[in-house]
């Protein structure tokens, strides 16, 4: 399972970075899990569902398709963990609020990790903590001034998603919001990297 966790991390990092093409190899690894017959009773159906979702990531042609499949991967993991046990939500405290771009981004990373745990553990408390941290950390002015039109647009989308996150209660609602958040993050990160 640790290998699957690492592949899922690489997938999320690629989509958040705005480089969904970098998610193809770890998605491929998830689609080619060996020895399904040796899995404990009741696990196979969840692993096959995860493989199907990973295949969607592998075959995605747009950031939004990759993001939607990544969020669905989190829900798939959460379904199995809810039935058979799995990871626990982190008790790592949120980085303190700050005016520096680096520390604000660290808080965004912490918050998106809690939202992910909301899907994969699944954990209502982790989702709520991530949503609260996102809502309290608007984009710094450097992003709005230096990132160009795409970064400014993404910042507006981010604020709306952060405001809506606490109201999402079902796995499907949370996955849809998480997917939009991944696309928004990727758009801003690409814009900041390329100065678009």
pLDDT at 154 over 90: no
The gap between the terminal CA atoms of the chain, to the nearest Å, is: 39
**Which whole number is the average pLDDT over 103-124?**
94
How many residues comprise the chain?
196
Query: Cα(34)–Cα(20) distance, rounded to whole angstroms?
Result: 25
CA dihedral 181, 182, 183, 187 (to 10 degrees): 100
What total of structural domains would you count in the chain? 1
What is the pLDDT at residue 183? 93
Query: Cα(18)–Cα(191) distance, rounded to whole angstroms?
Result: 9
Contact 52, 36 (CB under 8 A): no
105 Cα distance to chain centroid: 15
58-68 confidence digits (pLDDT tens): 999 999 999 99
What is the pLDDT at residue 144? 61
Q: 97 pLDDT band (50/70/90 cuts)? A: confident
The HSE-up count of residue 79 (CA atoms within 13 Å, CB side) is 19
1-19 confidence digits (pLDDT tens): 667 889 999 999 999 999 9
Least confident of 20-29, 66-75, 85-94, 143-152: 143-152
Domain that holds residue 55: 2-194
Query: Cα(24)–Cα(29) distance, rounded to whole angstroms?
Result: 9
């Amino acid at each position: 399972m640790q290998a699957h966790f690492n592949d899922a991390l690489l997938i999320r990092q690629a989509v958040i970075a705005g480089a969904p093409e970098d998610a193809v190899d770890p998605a491929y690894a998830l689609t080619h899990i060996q020895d399904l017959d040796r899995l404990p009773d009741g696990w196979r159906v969840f692993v096959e569902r995860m493989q199907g979702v990973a295949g969607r990531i592998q075959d995605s042609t747009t950031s939004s398709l990759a993001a939607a499949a990544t969020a669905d991967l989190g829900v798939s993991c959460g379904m199995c963990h809810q039935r058979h046990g799995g990871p626990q939500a982190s008790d790592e405290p949120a980085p303190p609020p700050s005016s520096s771009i680096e520390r604000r981004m660290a808080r965004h990373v912490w918050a998106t990790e809690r939202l992910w745990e909301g899907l994969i553990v699944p954990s209502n408390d982790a989702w709520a903590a991530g949503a609260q941290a996102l809502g309290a950390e608007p984009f710094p002015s450097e992003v709005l001034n230096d990132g160009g039109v795409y970064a400014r647009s993404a910042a507006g989308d981010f604020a709306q998603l952060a405001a809506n996150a606490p109201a999402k209660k079902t796995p499907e609602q949370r996955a849809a919001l998480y997917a939009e958040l991944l696309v928004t993050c990727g758009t801003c990160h690409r814009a900041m990297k390329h100065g678009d």
